Amino acid sequence: MLKKPSDWQVLKPMLQISIRDCLLEAQAELSLLDNPQHSAIILMAHVLNRPKTWIIAHGNETLGERQKTEFFALTKRLAQGEPLPYITGKQSFYGLDFKVSPSVLIPRPETERLVDEASLWLRANPLASHALDVGTGSACIAISLAKNHPALTITALDISEDALNLAKENAQLHGLQDRIAFQQSDLLANFTGQADLICANLPYIPSATLAELSVSAWEPVNALDGGQDGLAFIRRLLEQSHAVLKTPGLILLEIEASTGEPAMDLAKTSYPKANVDLLKDLAEYNRLIRIEVPK
């Protein structure tokens, strides 16, 4: 019979808890999130280095003390607002997994529309051989295009050395290090070649709006802040693109929803003979400026 509190302390580290019970406790702590159950499962899969399906099927398995401590430490970080991809160090995009870190913007499903539009144009223009991904970040756009278009070569540009280092890791992860060239550059300033396709997901949130958004507390401000009107980087890129874009050619620019009309006007002024379209994402928000320049 145990008579002293210290005896309980000796046994406490030996007490085990099931995966299911841990998930239920985490869901309660994450109740303010949109999908606490899914988030808890992702964290558990990360801690145990197992697929999500395994976690769901093995709820009765028990966790060791170290695993339990790590899981609840990560749960606390998530509950405090830290983005899940920064906690796990990975994010899915276009059916592929990418390493992410606070040095890059988290890839988002809305950007997949840009890859879709680029792919449609590349299939219709089989002679196009070189693409630029400007402000590449994690290189999710460049890698997705390279995976789906084996004959395409790509140059991925970013001003951030940390972002480029992570982008190179992702290219290595997907076996594309020989097809994607990486270059440190402020937009197109250091690029001296030409390209058939220019893709860019640049900082596009108006400065006054940025402070109101929760992403500004975690994601790199230099990947978000688009200046007073949200178009500062897009304006500069369009100015520089004339020396780079081949004809026929295509420019795809992701934008903030509220800047759709001003961005259209900017594109039409920069390329008066081009076909310029404003495209929406699946949620029906303005998302892309498409500039198709004829021969």
For residue range 115-124, list pLDDT tens digits in order: 999 999 999 9
Q: Is residue 266 situated within a structural domain?
A: yes
Q: Rounded to two decimals, what is the model's pTM?
A: 0.92
Asked if residue 181 and residue 200 are part of one domain, the reply reads yes
Asked if residue 50 and residue 28 are part of one domain, the reply reads yes
Asked if residue 180 and residue 40 are part of one domain, the reply reads no
Q: Is residue 59 situated within a structural domain?
A: yes
pLDDT band at residue 279 using 50, 70 and 90 as cut-offs: very high
- Which residue type sits at 85? P
CATH number at residue 274: 3.40.50.150
Q: Which of 51, 81, 111 is the last residue of a domain?
A: 81
Q: Is residue 133 situated within a structural domain?
A: yes
Q: Is residue 146 situated within a structural domain?
A: yes
pLDDT value of residue 29: 97
**Rounded-to-integer distance, Cα 287 and Cα 278, Å:** 7
Reference 109, options 251, 269, 285, 233; nearest CA is: 285
Asked if residue 259 and residue 139 are part of one domain, the reply reads yes
Asked if residue 263 and residue 170 are part of one domain, the reply reads yes
Asked if residue 275 and residue 134 are part of one domain, the reply reads yes
| pLDDT average, residue stretch 93-108 | 98
Q: How many CB atoms lie within 10 A of CB 184?
A: 13
Asked if residue 250 and residue 227 are part of one domain, the reply reads yes
pLDDT value of residue 215: 85
Give the range of the structural domain holding residue 269, as residue numbers without chain letter: 91-293
Q: Is residue 86 situated within a structural domain?
A: no
Q: Is residue 5 situated within a structural domain?
A: no
**Rounded-to-integer distance, Cα 104 and Cα 86, Å:** 10
pLDDT value of residue 11: 41
Q: Is residue 264 situated within a structural domain?
A: yes
Determine the length of the chain: 295
Q: Is residue 177 situated within a structural domain?
A: yes
pLDDT band at residue 15 using 50, 70 and 90 as cut-offs: low
Give the count of domains, the chain.
2
Asked if residue 98 and residue 44 are part of one domain, the reply reads no
**Rounded-to-integer distance, Cα 31 and Cα 114, Å:** 33
Burial class (CB in 10 A: 0-12, 13-18, 19+), 273: exposed
For residue range 153-165, list pLDDT tens digits in order: 999 999 999 999 9
List the beta strands (DSSP E) in 185-271. 195-200, 245-254
Asked if residue 96 and residue 174 are part of one domain, the reply reads yes
Asked if residue 68 and residue 199 are part of one domain, the reply reads no
Q: Which of 61, 81, 101 is the last residue of a domain?
A: 81
CB 24 within 8 A of CB 52: no
Asked if residue 255 and residue 157 are part of one domain, the reply reads yes
Asked if residue 99 and residue 68 are part of one domain, the reply reads no
pLDDT value of residue 258: 94
